[in-house]
Structure 1
Amino acid sequence: MKTKARLTFVAGVSGAMLLFILAAEAGVIIHGTRVIYPAERQEVIVRLENKGNRPALVQTWLDDGDRYSTAATAKAPLSTSPPIFRIEPHQQQALRLRYSGEPLPADRESLFWLNVLEVPPSAAKGDENNQIELAFRTRLRVFLRPQALPYAVANAASKLQWKLIAHDHGYALQATNPTPYHVSLASIELLSAGQRFAKAPNQSANDSLLLPAGDVKRFALPLLRECPRTPAKVEFTSVSDFGARVRHSAALPGCTG
């Protein structure tokens, strides 16, 4: 008598780990690390590819930030076409994103999330025993960008305003984003007297390196024990529309409470 032990899990994958995790584990990959949607466009196309050796069933939807959303519960003024499709091995699929035209702020970007759920195919006959199936869900940022925003998005990261502040019995770097763009950061370090102090590792999914328009965030520096007595600066890396890493440097004023 054979015992069938078949389990199904849903594994969530963030945009930051997209290229590594999907290439290593899932069959379907997304071309790109983010989606830029100019608000005046009728649609934008995202390309998916099945790198695996078996067909893949894929379901897609967009949400407004609810990471626990499903295709049935998600809320967003964008839709996907087709919402459900099958990709044969080593083939590609063009996924169309369409904006409904629902009124959104015209003076800054709006952030939404594209969800791509890869459902594993049924096990081949005779290969169903003691099998674990993984359904991979990837969430990718979608920046809906209004027309005629001031200055180029490439200049947004250099306009961040930094200062060093006392924070939780230690110190933190505080960043203010005065621009109408979301600024994505990959790394943050304080340099003083030849020493480098990196920000604390992320403690949760909400502790991200994304600064929305007008946002203020604090990044703890756990190894910095006292206010620097010599001039200090912050070095940080931003992520461009195309996923490229760009280095920046900014002088810091003295510590504040």
Structure 2
Amino acid sequence: MKIDLSFKIAVLLVPIILFDTLAYAGIIPEKKRIIFKGDEQQQVLLIANTNDYPILMQTWIDNGNTQNVPSATVSPFIITPPMSSLAAGEIKGLRIIYNKQKTLPNDKESAFWINLYEVPPTSKENKLVDNVTVAMNTQIKLFYRPTPLANKPEEKTLVTQLSCYGKAHNLEITVSCKNPTPYYISLSNIELNLNNHTYHNETQLDMMVPPFSDNSYRINVDSTNVPQQVNVEYSFVDDKGDVHGVKSTIRID
């Protein structure tokens, strides 16, 4: 299999420049997210083991439920091999295949999660003493984009189409956003500027606003004196996994 040289160089730089959640995992994917187009049969995702020891890696694709186990997942996508061993510093390719017998909507995007579950080895010496083996699961989002939606507008344009408003209750503001587009809009943070103070939404596992649907976000504030119009900044993630920001105003009820 041909390995992209730029990916090999990036892997060498990971311990220095990568400070997000992936930095705590020993396996590093080539991409932050996968965009699977409707006319594609399969894709290859490169995985690097940046640990200084070999690992066993189990892979599967599901709907993002953290309680899922590989044997109970249902997905139109198959990832192979389902089990791999990677030596220290080794790079391997995973093949993602779309089973078109399980049809997906043609008028909107669908989202799934690729799971990369790594388990470090347990040596015979470690068995003689108390030892905790930490297994980590890295998740990558996979978006299926049907052929009629191939020409996706800029992410910023989609974010500005969100219809958002806030509802204040005591010291909490709930921001609800409705997405009128057929694309997933991946928010990563909502920042309110209220009375010269900045407030951020509570951390939640999934901040995406699904196509033709909505999502809500809770923001704790320290004042009940809330104006009817509030400045807001949305941080969002594009197809490459990069984060951008766009400013707007929302109505608070």
- What TM-score, normalized to structure 2? 0.82
Aligned to 1:117: 117
* Distance apart, 1:219 and its partner CA: 2.2
Aligned mates of 1:210, 1:86 — CA distance in 2: 33
**Higher mean displacement: 182-191 or 64-73:** 64-73
Contact 1:181 1:212 in 2 (8 A): yes
Aligned to 2:6: none
Residues 73/191 of structure 1: CA separation in 2 closer, same or farther (3 Å cut): same
Aligned to 1:142: 142
Aligned mates of 2:68, 2:152 — CA distance in 1: 34
Aligned mates of 1:87, 1:29 — CA distance in 2: 12
* Distance apart, 1:77 and its partner CA: 0.4
- AA in 1 matched with 2:134: L
Residues 252/135 of structure 1: CA separation in 2 closer, same or farther (3 Å cut): closer
Aligned to 2:78: 79
- AA in 2 matched with 1:64: N
Q: Give the 3-state SS of the residue equivalent to 1:252 in structure 2.
A: strand
Q: Give the 3-state SS of the residue equivalent to 1:142 in structure 2.
A: strand
Aligned to 1:212: 210
* Distance apart, 1:92 and its partner CA: 0.5
Within-5 A mapping of 1:162-201: 162-167=164-169, 170-192=172-194, 194-199=196-201, 201=202
Q: Give the 3-state SS of the residue equivalent to 2:88 in structure 1.
A: coil
1:65 aligns with 2:64: yes
Q: Give the 3-state SS of the residue equivalent to 2:134 in structure 1.
A: strand
* Distance apart, 1:81 and its partner CA: 1.5
Contact 1:171 1:225 in 2 (8 A): no
- AA in 1 matched with 2:84: F
Contact 1:39 1:99 in 2 (8 A): no
Deviation >4 Å, runs of 4+: 167-170
Aligned to 2:160: 158
Contact 1:43 1:98 in 2 (8 A): yes
Q: Give the 3-state SS of the residue equivalent to 1:105 in structure 2.
A: coil
Aligned residues: 231
**Higher mean displacement: 220-229 or 233-242:** 220-229
Aligned mates of 2:195, 2:126 — CA distance in 1: 62
Aligned mates of 1:60, 1:143 — CA distance in 2: 17
Aligned mates of 1:22, 1:232 — CA distance in 2: 34
> Looking at both structures, which has the greater relative contact order when contacts are Cα pairs under 8 Å and sequence separation is at least 6?
1
Relative to its length, the structure with more helix (as a share) is: 2
Aligned to 1:222: 220
Aligned mates of 2:164, 2:126 — CA distance in 1: 57
- AA in 2 matched with 1:104: L
* Distance apart, 1:193 and its partner CA: 5.1
Aligned to 2:88: 89
Q: CA offsets, 1:82-110, max 9 Å, x none?
A: 11111111110111111101211111111
Aligned mates of 2:114, 2:62 — CA distance in 1: 7
**Higher mean displacement: 171-180 or 236-245:** 171-180
Aligned to 1:250: 248
- AA in 1 matched with 2:175: L
Structure 1 unmatched runs, 5+: 1-17
- AA in 1 matched with 2:153: A
- What TM-score, normalized to structure 1? 0.81
Q: Give the 3-state SS of the residue equivalent to 1:104 in structure 2.
A: coil
Q: Give the 3-state SS of the residue equivalent to 1:157 in structure 2.
A: helix
- AA in 1 matched with 2:145: R
